[in-house]
Amino acid sequence: MCGRFTLTASEVDEVARSLSAEVDRAEALLYRPRWNVAPTEAHFIVELECGRRVMRRARFGFCGRGGKTVVNARSESAATLPLFRRAFGERRCLIPADGFYEWQGGRAERRPLFFSRTGGGLLLFAGLAEGEGDHLAFVILTTPANALLGAVHDRMPALLSPDGAKAWLARGEKSLLAPAPEEWLTCREASPRVNRVGNDGPELLAPPPRQQLRLL
Q: Mind listing the domains of the chain with CATH numbers?
A: 5-205 (3.90.1680.10)
**Which H/E stretch holds residue 168?**
helix 162-170
CA 103/CA 92 separation, integer angstroms: 28
Q: Which pLDDT value is given to residue 105?
A: 80
Q: Which pLDDT value is given to residue 211?
A: 53
Q: Which pLDDT value is given to residue 25?
A: 95
Q: Which of the pair, 110 or 8, is modelled with greater confidence?
A: 8
Residues 123, 100: contact at Cβ < 8 Å? yes
Main-chain phi, psi angles of 171, to 5 degrees: -130, -25
CA 197/CA 192 separation, integer angstroms: 11
pLDDT band at 2 (very low <50, low <70, confident <90, very high): confident
**Which H/E stretch holds residue 37?**
strand 34-37
Between vectors from CA 146 to CA 6 and to CA 123, what angle results, nearest 5°?
30
pLDDT in tens, 76-116: 999 999 999 999 999 999 999 999 999 998 766 789 999 99
